[in-house]
Amino acid sequence: MAKVQNFSEISPDLPFTEFDFYELYRRTFETSELGKIRKRLPLGEMAENFGLISKSMRAKKGRKTY
């Protein structure tokens, strides 16, 4: 039985279809009607207004202080 000596020689030939599938799904979802509606809705602001999340729970943008 032959052993694989150098994995880097065969690694470009290995397909990872699940990653391709999810990337294709993301791209097609953005162009679908539901994706366009989601893009226009301020879902984060709506969740804060309804009290579902607090502003402190959201990720802060900008420079982090250490």
**What pLDDT score does 20 carry?**
75
Joined together, the tokens standing for residue 8 give 């880097």
Domain ranges within the chain, ordered by starting residue: 17-58
pLDDT tens readout for residues 9-55 = 655 555 666 667 788 888 899 999 999 999 999 888 888 898 888 87
Q: What is the mean pLDDT of the chain?
A: 76
Collect all residues with Cβ–Cβ distance below 8 Å to 35 and sequence separation of at least 6: 29
**What pLDDT score does 44 carry?**
86
Question: Distance (Å, rounded) from C-alpha 60 to C-alpha 29?
Answer: 27
Of the chain, the percentage scoring pLDDT greater than 70 comes to: 55
How does DSSP assign 22-35, residue by residue? Answer: HHHHHHHHHHSHHH
